[in-house]
Amino acid sequence: METSASFNRIALGIICPMANEKDTAISFINQVLKVCNDYPFKSTRIYLVVDLASRDGTKNLLDGLSKDNNQVRVIFSPENKNVVDAYKKGYQAAIIDNADWILEIDAGFSHRPEDIPKFLDAMNSGDFDCVFGSRFHKNGRMISRSLKRSLLSHGGTYLVNALLGTKLSDMTSGFELFKRDALVQILAMNIVSHGPFFQTEIRTFAHKFRITEVPIVYNSMTGHNHPGAISDAFRNLKRLCLMKIKGELIW
C-alpha cells in the first residue's frame, strides 16, 4: 500500500448495487471496508443501491448494518427500471457528497475486495483520471462457467476496439475507479444503454481522459444474459460508431 499523505486529502466513495445478496452482503461489505480503511483517507463511505429487484430481505439486512456503521449508506430506489439506473443512483449520491474518488465494484464476490488496492495505488502513484479493472490484462483472469460468456467478453472488447479505436484490453468490465470531475463529465456524455453495455459506453467516453488498467480476477457466477442485452449492445455500438464518424468521439 502506498503511504502518500495525499490520501489524507481524499474522500473515497464506493458504489455497489445489491440485489438478492442476503447470504454474502455483510461479509462482502466488511471486506471492502477493511481493505479501504487500511488507507488513511479523509473519509470512506460505501453506497449500497437496492431496488425492487431484490426480494430476499437484503434491504432490511443492509438497513440494520447502516444503523451500526456510519460508513454504510443504503439507497433505496424503487423507481429503478434496470441495473444501469442503480449504478447512476450510486454515482450521483457519491458526487453530491463530494467524494473525490469514486470506486465502482460489483457485489457477491464476482469482484474481489483484495483487488481494490491495485486501483487505489495506481490512482495515487500515476497522473490518472480513471483506473479500469481488466480481466484480460497481464495477470488478470476471468473465471467463468460459461464459454458463451467468455467469448462475448473477449469478442466484445475486440469489436469495440476495432470499430471505435479504443485501446483498453477489457472494454466490458465494471470494476473501476474515477476521479470525481472525470466521472461527472463521462456521465454528461449521455449513457444510453439499459444493459451491461453501459460499461462499454463509460470506458469509451473515458478515452478522452488519462486512463490506465490494472489486472483483476473476475468470477462470473452465471452465463445468463438478460433478454435483449445483445441487441441493446449492438444498437448502442452502432450509435457510438456514428458518433465517431461525426467527430463526436475524439482521443
CA-wise closest residue to 156 among 204, 113, 192: 204
Q: Characterize the bridge pairing of strands 101-104 and 176-179.
A: antiparallel
What pLDDT is recorded for position 145?
A: 64
Q: Characterize the bridge pairing of strands 176-179 and 130-134.
A: antiparallel
- Report the CATH architecture of 5-245: Alpha-Beta Complex (3.90)
- Global pTM reads 0.93
Q: CA 53, 240, 195 angle in degrees (round to 5)?
A: 10
- State the Cα–Cα distance between residues 126 and 212, nearest whole angstrom: 9
Alpha-carbon torsion 216, 220, 221, 227, what sign?
positive
What are the mean pLDDT values of the chain's consecutive 10-residue runs (251 residues total)?
70 96 95 98 97 90 96 95 94 98 96 98 93 95 77 91 97 96 96 94 97 94 66 95 94 81
Domain residue limits, the chain = 5-245
Please name the residue that has the C-alpha cell 450521483.
92
- State the Cα–Cα distance between residues 131 and 91, nearest whole angstrom: 16
CA-wise closest residue to 217 among 164, 175, 163: 175
What pLDDT is recorded for position 224?
A: 53
What pLDDT is recorded for position 143?
A: 87
Q: CA 21, 184, 206 angle in degrees (round to 5)?
A: 85
